[in-house]
Amino acid sequence: MYLSIQNILAMVFLIFLSQVKSNHFSPGELWLDDKGMHINAHGGGFLIQGDTYYWFGEHKIEGKEGNKAQVGVSVYSSKDLYNWKNEGIALEVHDDPNSLLVKGCIIERPKVIYNKNTKKYVMWFHHEIKDRGYDAAMTGLATSDHVTGPYTYIKSVNPHAGLWPSNYPDSLKSKPVDLEKYKRPSQEWKDAVVDGVFLRRDFEKGQMARDMTLYVDDDGKAYHFHSSENNQTLHVAELTEDYLDFSGNYTRVLHGEQNEAPAIFKKDGKYYMFSSGLTGWKPNPGKSAVADHPMGPWTSLGNMCVGTEEEMNTTFWSQSTYVLPVIGKKDAFIFMADRWNPDNPIDGRYIWLPVEFDNSTPVLRWYDQWDLSFFDNK
Ligand code: GAL
């Protein structure tokens, strides 16, 4: 291979940069790992094990094909949140065309939780079947005995076939699925959505599960939050004790409010959710909500972003993916989001901002640069 002097200098510069330890966050900038490469873990999910953070995310490649899974789910580790070690591919896509996890399928927003009883690492993710766009709306499951993998793919499902949400009134269960009757958008259409017309449509075959997150409560119970009902309504589902399945107990929350990209955290006994609206890769105003229990009811708190009109209308040009509590610091939470680049997904950027509280309501403000000492004076 011929390398020009410019290429060699660029490589030397990258190696030099990768040796320089970082001690702050610079939202939206390139973020190099220990090998000098921009971190490739989009739609990320985080897991704390002891004194180490693990960052799982969508591995993307250059060009539009990079929006599909060509490699799998990456994993990185860090002790300080600034400097990340590339731990490789946690879940690899298959070459076998008969596997649902075949190269070219879509894997998004992978989240990993650890089950203390079974000692298994459990990954759930949004999974779409190859060449079927976003039609399948499934959630996939993979497990491993080791945090960094390799993870073994188990299955993908449309959850809750033949099961009603616990908060769905009997009076609505026999209403017709008369989707063709409504002009979209119209008030009638919105009412039908809130009443669960899509829920009833999917009752037999199982519900849609697109943008998702996992939340493990202090009592060890795990919840799977996902955009369902054509992305119109969130479902919050309890997982079984081993986290490998849905228990069957689930609720519909924020009915008809089009929430995507949910991220959950808990402070002073209250559960908070950051989420986004529904505009694909384009950013939109942030949303927040509060509840006394993960399964709801959830009360909307409005846009959590404080800043210019543009910042508020675009969530600082990003879409939420996770809220991470910082090890050893009280009430210290980091909002984590993606600044997508669908034309060249590998160049998607990460927006991390400290969560601040105005009278116990969580808010976000932009900082060009910040570090964990931000939380020390709170
Ligand atoms: C977004 C969603 C992403 C991805 C994208 C595809 O709304 O949050 O995870 O699915 O749509 O257009």
Q: How far, in Å, from the CA of 34 to the mean position of ligand 1? A: 29
Question: Ligand 1 atom 11: the closest Cα is on which residue?
Answer: 280
Q: How far, in Å, from the CA of 281 to the mean position of ligand 1? A: 6
Question: Is this prediction's pTM over 0.75?
Answer: yes
Closest atom of ligand 1 relative to the 210 alpha carbon: 10
Mean pLDDT of the chain: 96
User: What confidence tens digit (pLDDT) does each residue in 214-241 have?
Assistant: 999 999 999 999 999 999 999 999 999 9
Question: Ligand 1 atom 1: the closest Cα is on which residue?
Answer: 280
Q: How far, in Å, from the CA of 2 to the mean position of ligand 1? A: 39
pLDDT < 50 stretches in the chain: none
229 lines ligand 1 (CB under 6 A): no
CATH number of the structural domain 38-157: 2.115.10.20
User: What confidence tens digit (pLDDT) does each residue in 268-308 have?
Assistant: 999 999 999 999 999 999 999 999 999 999 999 999 999 99
198: enclosing H helix or E strand:
helix 197-201
Query: What DSSP state is assigned to residue 353?
Result: E
Question: Ligand 1 atom 12: the closest Cα is on which residue?
Answer: 280
Give the pLDDT of residue 6.
Answer: 72
Sign of the torsion formed by the C-alpha atoms of 172, 178, 184 and 186: negative
CB 39 within 8 A of CB 346: no
Q: How far, in Å, from the CA of 260 to the mean position of ligand 1? A: 8
Give the pLDDT of residue 2.
Answer: 56
Give the pLDDT of residue 377.
Answer: 73
319 lines ligand 1 (CB under 6 A): yes
Q: Which residues pair with 125 in a beta bridge?
A: 140
In a 13 Å sphere around the CA of 180, the CA atoms on its Cβ side amount to 0
| Rounded Cα gap, residues 296 and 232, in angstroms | 17
